[in-house]
Amino acid sequence: MTVTDLLSYEDALASFDPVMGLEVHVELGTRTKMFCGCSTELGAEPNSQTCPTCLGLPGSLPVVNAVGVESAIKIGLALNCEIAEWCRFARKNYFYPDMPKNFQTSQYDEPIAYNGYLDVQLEDGEVFRVQIERAHMEEDTGKSTHVGGATGRIHGASHSLLDYNRAGIPLIEIVTKPIEGAGERAPEVARAYVAELRELIKALGVSEARMEMGQMRCDVNLSLRPHGRSTFGTRSETKNVNSLRSVERAARFEIQRHAAVLTSGGTIVQETRHFHEEDGSTTSGRIKEEAEDYRYFPEPDLVPVAPAREWVEELRGGLPELPRLRRKRLQEEWGIADHEMQSVLNAGALDLILATMAEGADAASARKWWMGELARHANETGAELSAVPITPAQVARVAALVAAGDLNDKLARQVIEGVLAGEGEPDQVVDKRGLKVVSDDSALGAAVDDAIAANAAIAGKIRGGNLAAAGALIGAVMKATRGQADAKRVRELVLEKLGVQG
Amino acid sequence: MTDIIRLTAAQTAEKIASGELTAVEVTEAHLARIEAVDEKVHAFLHVDREGALAQARAVDAKRAAGEPLGPLAGVPLAMKDIFTTEGVPTTVGSKILEGWLPPYDSTVTKRLKAADVVILGKTNMDEFAMGSSTENSAYGPTGNPWDLTRIPGGSGGGSAAALASYQAPLALGTDTGGSIRQPAAVTGTVGVKPTYGGVSRYGMVAFSSSLDQGGPCARTVLDAALLHEAIGGHDPMDSTSIDAPVPPVVEAARSGDVRGMRIGVVKELGGEGYQAGVVQRFEESVEVLRGLGAEVVEISCPSFVYALAAYYLIAPSECSSNLARFDAMRYGMRVGDDGTRSAEDVTALTREAGFGAEVKRRIILGTYALSSGYYDAYYGSAQKVRTLITRDFEKAFESVDVLVSPTTPTTAFPLGERVDDPLAMYLVDLCTIPVNLAGNAAMSLPCGLAPEDGLPVGLQIIAPALKDDRLYRVGAAVEAAFVKKWGHPLLEEAPQL
Ligand SMILES: [Zn+2]
């Protein structure tokens, strides 16, 4: 493998100004495909969800999925776009075995939504406005599995298997205008944009937008220009960057790569590039010596889409509270500072906290567990917070046990540890590990007596009015009871036995 | 004894309904006719003997059980091999689909089955409906029953020849630039291109999606109307199908009254370059219409001169995309898949072997016309011409109810005469193409034999979109007048096979 020359990020930014374009494909969560009645359910037997239309059989014809159009309009509206009064589908002609008709039914110069923007909040709270060029409707392709090669790539494979279940699933492609002026924050803006878009899509209920499932896929186009230059440089197109972290890394890598090429007197070739999760690098894919000619023309098998204005307004009126506004509202309701809210968002904890609250926990404790113990666990295991093996209901149960005084924080952490280790529900872990808080005076009294006897000097200080010294005795009792004692009660007993007023 | 095969569809249905004939008798008579003459004519690519007899038996059983029968119950039909038929070969006249058994029925197929029509088999056609003579069929040409050494027209030459040789009283065609009307004209039969969207295209293998239109073929105007009604109407599976009731075509065919109608003769469709006998028969037809009480005026449609050029950009452009799916991956022919070749190589080898010269020519033409840098000059300009032609029609229909012209500039020419001259072949559709570009409706019906060669001449009637019934009203009037004048239907003058 060739090593790619990179300039340090700081040096790259000292000389150049990055310009980005982000293209995001979102698979809609419609029940049926975009142009036929086949199911879109994931995980079915290969080719079990197909029909003449999505297999492109001779004679078959498409019919537009009205829910797909509605979803596209909702996305357009949420992105502050204008909605076309009249637009058409177009055929994008190119050959690929997993594309049944050898053209993709898409939109070309008449997208359903255009000219919008999305405000995204960066980690320090700064708001950056990303201009939206367009959002258009199209269909997904099937999937090829290359068999017999070393890497699952077509090169070296002995044959390929084709699964057309995905062929025809509705996609919305959202394209930004060139993102300029982000400077050194360009990778961060890219990440924040994709994150915000994902939140938006989920809030609209048009897709689950799970990037790890390929329901949302991002292409990062990037070019550099010397500071002060207004024309754009030649861009590279990094395809299928499929996590938030990868989006940021891909942008950063390309900035450093472009800068290295440009400062050494080279030129950037317009090409597509592959992103590699392992090390965050990109490698050259297909060189676009001449722009690919897709021979677009209006799809003659479909009639134009002309959404009535009243319908568009009705959809606008029915839009849910958009993520940024919702976050602002929650932050106010919870009474937390900007930076605290930001870390909740950065950790991907917002929905988990809300779900935990929905299970009965109060905001503060839900936030405490997700942002504390669980975030730490996610960090250590390198997993997304949402992938940590505990449910909001389980966290809510732990919080309830703490609130009822059955667990203290230390015991609660052990319960969570047990749940994460697969020992069952919180109550089962409590039982199995014997983690109930001991507040029974007879059991505690003996432990307190032992502690006083073993620490006569400290006991004396307390008797003498040095209440701060009580901590040492309480610690000793807690140690003896392996943390299960109710610390508050222990303190009361110590003071009582030593005849001191707390 | 009734000569079953010479009955019209309407008569046949009546006799089956009354019990005078059984559907099985009718079907067997036609299968026997096919057996007897089709070796010479070559109208059929595939005869579905078992399927046809099963359907006929079902019709007879239905009648025996006292269930209601449709107006075409038990009537045999020859289907152009472009409509998919579940489990029955559908080749579109191409080697690339040889052996393909579609897993689904076209909407038209479904409707015919539901109407208890007996589908005899699939008829020959120019490959992918590209041609005007059936000589582009990968399975050999069809002969014209009037003279087996001449073309039966195309692309639907098989359907027209089946009618003219009494192998079926009904047939189905598709018309992209004249593929129903021109074969009807040169075989002395009736063919209708309905308004675009009037008959579902679902399951009709696409040549040029914005121009293709399925339609009825028959020996009489009334039969065509009955078939039109059976196959027409909205289909939710075809977005471009019109969501409106089928125009009252049967009623119009039964009335046949043209008194007070205004009829326009299209100035640009006729004159120089047209065969003398064609012009003569056309002018007689106009006189007949005048005699029947219609008012005849001359109408100019100046943009029609660009129609052929526009058509040969739009149709190839769409076909270049429609035919891209024939890549040897999922169905049909596959050549060269020996385990060493890439998918691209196998596709290329398959297309090389599976597509005929005319299909390749049009794919290349269309690919070029859609290419970036050429799109505006070619496809874009052609769409503008299309708009102009549509406006010419709209303007014409402000002052007349229908337009008339010869269907074709000449009568049937000898097989082989134009195979090496694509441009001469393209000119055959000069009069029919404007209608496809505008999307309105037209009919061709026999108006006599050209004196110089004794071959049939077709009269074309053109109606505004959605006014298909006017074709039948005018057509029925002309047909009745001619039959009265000749003393018998024109086809009776065709030679015995
Ligand atoms: Zn499907």
Q: Which of A235, A241, A240 is nearest to A221 (CA)?
A: A235
Mean pLDDT value of segment B93-115 = 98
Does residue A258 lie within any of the structural domains?
A: no
**Which ranges constitute the DSSP H helices of A335-440?**
338-346, 350-358, 363-369, 375-381, 392-403, 409-420, 426-433
3-state secondary structure at position B460? strand
Q: Which of B278, B198, B300, B176 is nearest to B242 (CA)?
A: B198
Which residues in chain A have Cβ-Cβ distances shorter than 8 Å to B201? 61
Co-location of A381 and A472 in the same domain: no
Task: Give the integer Cα–Cα distance in Å for A73 and A113.
Answer: 7
Distances, alpha carbon B332 to alpha carbons A142, B90, B259, in Å: 20, 10, 53
Neighbours of B208 (CB within 10 A): 25
Task: Give the integer Cα–Cα distance in Å for A277 and A268.
Answer: 23
Co-location of A401 and A308 in the same domain: no
Domain residue extents for chain B? 4-303+387-493
Categorize the per-residue pLDDT at B482 as very low, low, confident or very high, splitting at 50, 70 and 90. Answer: very high
Give the ipTM of the model, two decimals please.
0.96
Does residue A261 lie within any of the structural domains?
A: no
Q: What is the tens place of the pLDDT at every residue in B391-423? A: 999 999 999 999 999 999 999 999 999 988 888
For the record, the structure tokens of B104 come out as: 């689904």
Does residue A6 lie within any of the structural domains?
A: no
Strands A127-139 and A170-176, sheet pairing: antiparallel
Task: Give the integer Cα–Cα distance in Å for B41 and B151.
Answer: 11
For domain B4-303+387-493, give the CATH number.
3.90.1300.10
Co-location of A356 and A454 in the same domain: no
CA of B176 to the centre of ligand 1 (A): 27
Q: What is the tens place of the pLDDT at every residue in B130-156? A: 999 999 999 999 999 999 999 999 999
Domain stop point among A433, A458, A487: A433
Task: Give the integer Cα–Cα distance in Å for B14 and B226.
Answer: 13
Does residue A41 lie within any of the structural domains?
A: yes
HEC per residue, A388-409: CCCCHHHHHHHHHHHHCCCCCH
Q: What CA dihedral angle connects B230, B235, B238 and B240, to 10 degrees? A: 90
Q: In what order do the strands lie in the sheet with B456-463?
A: B44-47, B118-123, B76-80, B170-174, B214-218, B190-193, B441-449, B456-463, B402-406, B262-266, B295-299
Co-location of A467 and A385 in the same domain: no
Diameter of chain A by CA atoms? Answer: 98
The answer for residues whose C-beta is within 8 angstroms of residue A383's C-beta and 6 or more apart is none
Categorize the per-residue pLDDT at A160 as very low, low, confident or very high, splitting at 50, 70 and 90. Answer: confident
Contact at CB, A59 and B102, closer than 8 angstroms: yes
Nearest-CB residue to A63 (from B237, B321, B379): B237
Long-range contacts of A36-43 (CB under 8 A, 24+ apart): A36/A62, A36/A63, A36/A168, A38/A168, A40/A169, A40/A170, A42/A213
Q: Which domain holds residue A379?
A: 323-433
Nearest-CB residue to A301 (from B100, B239, B372): B239
Which residues in chain A have Cβ-Cβ distances shorter than 8 Å to B203? 52, 59-60
In this prediction, residue A409 carries a pLDDT of 86
Using CA coordinates, name the residue in chain B closest to A100: B325
Q: Is A271 exposed, middle or buried (0-12, 13-18, 19+ CB in 10 A)?
A: middle
Does residue A285 lie within any of the structural domains?
A: no
Does residue A268 lie within any of the structural domains?
A: no
In this prediction, residue A1 carries a pLDDT of 43
Co-location of A47 and A86 in the same domain: yes
Residue pair B111/B235 in contact by the 8 Å Cβ criterion: no
Residue pair B16/B30 in contact by the 8 Å Cβ criterion: no
pTM for this entry: 0.88
Picking from B83, B127, B329, B381 by the largest number of A CB atoms within 10 A of its own CB, the best residue to mutate is B329
Q: Which of B86, B56, B108, B75 is nearest to B9 (CA)?
A: B75
HEC per residue, A152-180: CCCCCCCEEEEECCCCCCEEEEEEECCEC
B289-309 burial code (b ≥16 CB/10 A, e <16): beebebeeeebebebbebbbe
More confidently predicted of A125 and A48: A48
A124-133, A368-377, B452-461: range with highest mean pLDDT? B452-461
**Which ranges constitute the DSSP H helices of B306-416?**
307-322, 343-354, 357-370, 381-399
Q: What is the tens place of the pLDDT at every residue in A416-458? A: 999 999 999 999 998 888 887 776 777 788 888 888 888 888 8
Nearest-CB residue to B324 (from A59, A95, A303): A95
CA of A49 to the centre of ligand 1 (A): 7
Contact at CB, A291 and B372, closer than 8 angstroms: yes
Does residue A256 lie within any of the structural domains?
A: no
Whether B90 and chain A come into contact, CB under 8 Å, resolves to yes
Does residue A380 lie within any of the structural domains?
A: yes
In this prediction, residue A342 carries a pLDDT of 84
In this prediction, residue B1 carries a pLDDT of 46
Lowest mean pLDDT, pick from A60-69, A144-153, A210-219, A363-372: A144-153
Please give the positions of B annotated as active site: 80, 155, 179
Whether A160 and chain B come into contact, CB under 8 Å, resolves to yes
Strands A281-287 and A271-276, sheet pairing: antiparallel
Counted domains in chain A: 3
Residue pair A222/A251 in contact by the 8 Å Cβ criterion: yes
Co-location of A153 and A207 in the same domain: yes
Which residues in chain A have Cβ-Cβ distances shorter than 8 Å to B103? 52, 57
Co-location of A302 and A335 in the same domain: no
CATH number at residue A472: 1.10.10
Co-location of A428 and A484 in the same domain: no
For the record, the structure tokens of A15 come out as: 């000389």
Co-location of A78 and A128 in the same domain: yes
